[in-house]
Structure 1
Amino acid sequence: MSALVLGTVVIAVVGGLAVLIAGLAGLAPLALGLGFAIAGGIALFVQPFLGVAALATFSQLDAVEKLFFGFLPVSFFKLVGATLTLAVLANSIRFREQFHSVMRNPVIVMGLVFFLMTLVSMAGAEDKGRAISSVISSVSLILLLMLVTILSNTKRKVVIMLWILVGSSFVSAMILLVDVTLGVQLVAQSDAATTARTAEGVTRSSGGSDYNPTTAASMLLVGVIFALVHSFESPVWRWRLLMIAGIGTAAVVLSFARSAALAYFIIGLALVWRYHHWRYLPLGAAGAFCVGLALVPFVPIEYWERLSSLMSGSGDPTLGRRFTYNVIGIDLFVHHPLFGVGPSNFVHHYTNIEYRYLPGRTLLGRELHNMYLSVVVQYGLLGAFPFFAMLVLTFKQLRTVSRIPSTEALRVYAVALSYAIAAYLLASLFLPNEYTKYTWLLPGISTALFIVNERERIR
């Protein structure tokens, strides 16, 4: 009997007994919940890709996930991640070839090295509680990176993961537009997503995410840019993808996220340069300009005020705080250059008395809103190197797929994903995204695309 069949039988028998006992004890809701949990566990053991597809979907739509699974005593992501890890071990023979390819891939190697450096950096942290909590979160993120890469082991599965990025952005954009238009809050529940609604003088929404609106906008941008570039590169679903990109663009604007708007603008310039020889570019640019001009009256005045504050530097206290974050971060790096101050320990040092006179500093700990400087400060140069190498190698692999594709479709996917990840990483200049799931999900999908392309090309 194979390990997969044996594991499924054990889960079914033990789970069935648990349901029976709960039912006999008169705990009907518990029995019902156990029944669904057992059915889900068996499904993940039989077809673990369903689990990793769910993780990818709810990485952005985590507020939606909490509507369905918020009653669980443990995190949905941790529960599914642990189940998938067991499923991969039970299916070790089935995934042996993919596992070997994954463990030899430089992106995965750099991700694992970075995790090891978090353990080294943790040893020197002053706030051990925050450091340990951060390392535990890092375990989930590393598992996400590896599970996505291992289980997306065919061209069809990789394509599904890519369209999940577009679909989740579209759903989040629609929720955001409804929130802003009707002044409601459909799914967001966390303090990060809800306190920013009126804290900055505007009504904001995180869409289908429970992250704060600015971080949610950076994830939303991934699907929007992917859809936009794919529509330029291929006629497949062109008008549908342009519609999704248009709706997503409106959502990015109404998220009031300046970092996402700036990243979108820079990627837009890069796309104009890429397609400057395209014969339809003047017509497309004129059409986009006319549509944009027609929509200007519908853009809230507060949005223009937030953008203008980037130039004037006045009227927005958050800009002063962000300047202070970077000043403190640079000072901490100078004093801890090799191993950093420890995972999540910037928050601890932010309130040090020597920084009390810096503009915009508060008495509450804050994160450093710059992913790259944040990694350098908290993990030092020795920890930052594998993290940055992981991101650089991700682009290198996508470039390889776009230059030597096994099929035209994979070339289009590689190009679109490159620009989508670039937009996300540009927005991360203003966000502490090192612990955001998309920072690890996107390299995982890119690596899976690279491995599948190499395998298809050899065949």
Structure 2
Amino acid sequence: MSLTHWETPSPRWLIILFAILAIVIGALVGMAVGISPSVYLLFAVTLFLVIVLLTIANLEFGLLVFIVLTYLRVSDIAVHNYGAPSVARIFIAILVGAIFLRWAVTGHLPKGWLKPAVLVLAYALVIFGSILYASDIASAEASASDYWKDGLITILIVALIQKKSTFRYVIWALILAGIFVASISVYQYNTGTFDNNYWGFAEAPLLNIVGVTEGNRVAGPIGDPNFYAQILVVLVPLCINRMISEKRTLLRIIAGLGALVITLAVLYTYSRGGIIALVFALIALALYRPPRLPMVGIFVAIVAVALLLMPDAFLDRMGTLTNVLSGEQDTRSEVSIRGRTSEMLSAWDMFIDHPILGVGADNYPVNYQTYARKLGLDNRATLREPHNLFLEVAAETGLLGLLIFGYILFYIFQCIHRARLGFAQLGDPQFLDLIGAFSAGLIGYLTAAMFIHGAYPRYFWLLAGIAMALPQVLQTQKEALIKE
């Protein structure tokens, strides 16, 4: 894949820039060697500095690297497992600096980022404002501290995805990141090497499966199987789309393998919410692009074989879900479902008691026990989460936050709809289908959010930024056609 180069500045200016960067790189590498003789550290520092250099030379390359790093949680793994500084913060600063550097040199600023920035700022005011009335101020402050980085990521992504080619590269960056972690998870599960976390990319905690039965559930770089399933579900429709629509055979094969290993990884999480989300994502994909009957038959056969190969504990766990949905099993008879029912009802009660502003950002856990005792469904004396993103927003930010967050969701799908209409008018069915596949993945993500809270919001804001960039992608394509 060839990347579109950033507007070329004057040769003299470029030579001076690279000379300065070469001096800085040499100095930092020397410092790294002086601090530690570790070859791995030297390699990591050198690689990072080369990536920085390439990012400054080509913003599109930097965007793709940043998306992969974010989706794989490389920065968090490096910080928590190896005591490294936050790569995410450094990279965000580099991208922001590179954008302003390009503006200073070429006078060119990205377009289409103003409204997304206003929406991000509006929700930020709710999050930061909750510090003033939250019972646990420290939790609200921590939530606000995380939010400004997530919101900035959204704006950056909107600013950097300006063209069709960039959007397509971003989709492939997501797919390759998913193939990387899912392949490790599938290998880990089938070899039983759960004591090896594979450098932090393959956690597999021992958790409840059904009743008193416990087992290892793959959790990838996140550490929680339900959230891991949520971010993987997004990628399955994208893989299927690329498997069908890519022109190069090698890329179609890679996408097909991606669909297989990512789907298997979702199954190995044992996440009931993840399975439901995957089904909804595939239904949405089928509505966007109705599949041919032979393809449906092949897919059903593959799923049937995969389910038959799953252990009995998996089928028993999925059975509890079908029993509850059919009314054959009461929610109070299953520990996990009983706990989640208590958590969701408590979130609703918090919203009723604090309807305008909520209890404060990230203040649901400290208020949970007060409400759970009244319900009498959950006897766990620990901090809990609402296990529903939308109830969490309502409980913690009230009607004000719920309305702003709801409008952000509305705007996201409005952007997708406008882009689809526009590319349909331009006679570009393949890109139309790609946007539909992305939308299907986003629907899967939000379906999973019905069963889990927003513990890892960065993924949502990353996906939101990609969606919000689509109107500008359409506008750029129209302008390119006019020039032709």
Give yes or no for TM over 0.5: yes
Kept in 1, the 8 Å contact 2:140–2:360? The answer is yes
Aligned to 1:205: 218
How much has 1:420 moved relative to structure 2?
A: 0.8
How much has 1:147 moved relative to structure 2?
A: 1.5
Alignment partner of 1:404: what SS? Answer: helix
Unaligned runs of 5+ in 1: none
CA distance in 2, matches of 1:210, 1:188: 13
Equivalent residue for 1:62, pick from 66, 73, 79: 73
Equivalent residue for 1:377, pick from 379, 383, 395: 395
Q: Give the alignment's Cα RMSD to 1 decimal.
A: 3.4
| 1:298-447 equivalence runs, <5 A | 298-310=309-321, 311=324, 312=329, 313=331, 316-352=334-370, 355=373, 358-405=376-423, 406=426, 407-433=428-454, 435-447=456-468
CA distance in 1, matches of 2:391, 2:304: 37
How much has 1:219 moved relative to structure 2?
A: 0.5
Report the more deviating stretch, 186-195 or 341-350. 186-195
Alignment partner of 1:201: what SS? Answer: strand
The yes-or-no answer on 1:148 pairing with 2:160 is: no
CA distance in 2, matches of 1:442, 1:169: 14
Aligned to 1:195: 205
| 1:70-109 equivalence runs, <5 A | 71=82, 73-93=84-104, 98-103=109-114, 106-109=115-118
Structure 1 residue identity aligned to 2:469: A
Aligned to 1:224: 236
CA distance in 1, matches of 2:145, 2:187: 35
Kept in 1, the 8 Å contact 2:354–2:395? The answer is yes
The yes-or-no answer on 1:264 pairing with 2:264 is: no
| 1:39-54 equivalence runs, <5 A | 39-54=50-65
Q: Deviations over 1:124-147 (max 9, x none)?
A: 111111111111110110121111
Q: Deviations over 1:305-360 (max 9, x none)?
A: 11111223476412111111111111111121111111111111113377366322
Report the more deviating stretch, 380-389 or 412-421. 380-389
Unaligned runs of 5+ in 2: 1-8
Q: Deviations over 1:291-317 (max 9, x none)?
A: 333344311111111111122347641
Structure 1 residue identity aligned to 2:351: F
Structure 1 residue identity aligned to 2:357: F
Report the more deviating stretch, 171-180 or 235-244. 235-244
Q: Deviations over 1:250-288 (max 9, x none)?
A: 221121111110112233344455566x6x32x333333
| 1:10-29 equivalence runs, <5 A | 13=23, 16=26
How much has 1:449 moved relative to structure 2?
A: 3.0
How much has 1:6 moved relative to structure 2?
A: 7.5
Aligned to 2:473: 452
CA distance in 1, matches of 2:243, 2:202: 34
Kept in 2, the 8 Å contact 1:340–1:380? The answer is yes
Check 1:365–1:400 CA distance in 2 against 1; reply closer, same or farther (3 A cut). Answer: same
CA distance in 2, matches of 1:227, 1:22: 40
Report the more deviating stretch, 86-95 or 432-441. 86-95
Alignment partner of 2:214: what SS? Answer: coil
CA distance in 2, matches of 1:192, 1:377: 32
Kept in 2, the 8 Å contact 1:227–1:241? The answer is yes
How much has 1:448 moved relative to structure 2?
A: 2.3
Aligned to 1:130: 139
Number of residue pairs aligned between Structure 1 and Structure 2 = 452
Q: Deviations over 1:29-83 (max 9, x none)?
A: 5994766655444443333433332231133322697369954542221222223
CA distance in 2, matches of 1:174, 1:118: 37
CA distance in 2, matches of 1:434, 1:69: 17
Q: Report the identity percentage.
A: 20
CA distance in 1, matches of 2:343, 2:50: 47
CA distance in 2, matches of 1:297, 1:323: 30
CA distance in 1, matches of 2:444, 2:346: 26
Structure 2 residue identity aligned to 1:113: A
Check 1:22–1:75 CA distance in 2 against 1; reply closer, same or farther (3 A cut). Answer: closer
Report the more deviating stretch, 50-59 or 370-379. 50-59
How much has 1:172 moved relative to structure 2?
A: 2.0
Aligned to 2:148: 139
CA distance in 2, matches of 1:165, 1:175: 16
Alignment partner of 1:202: what SS? Answer: strand
Q: Deviations over 1:418-438 (max 9, x none)?
A: 111111111111111364321
Kept in 2, the 8 Å contact 1:401–1:410? The answer is no
How much has 1:370 moved relative to structure 2?
A: 0.5
How much has 1:289 moved relative to structure 2?
A: 3.1
Kept in 2, the 8 Å contact 1:394–1:447? The answer is yes
CA distance in 1, matches of 2:439, 2:311: 31
**Normalised by the size of structure 2, how large is the TM-score?**
0.82
Aligned to 1:287: 298
CA distance in 1, matches of 2:478, 2:295: 35
Aligned to 2:167: 158
Alignment partner of 2:270: what SS? Answer: coil
The yes-or-no answer on 1:255 pairing with 2:246 is: no
Kept in 1, the 8 Å contact 2:342–2:378? The answer is yes
CA distance in 2, matches of 1:352, 1:314: 20
Q: Deviations over 1:214-250 (max 9, x none)?
A: 1011111111122224545677755653443233222
CA distance in 2, matches of 1:69, 1:153: 34
CA distance in 1, matches of 2:45, 2:286: 54
Alignment partner of 1:433: what SS? Answer: coil
Kept in 1, the 8 Å contact 2:358–2:397? The answer is yes
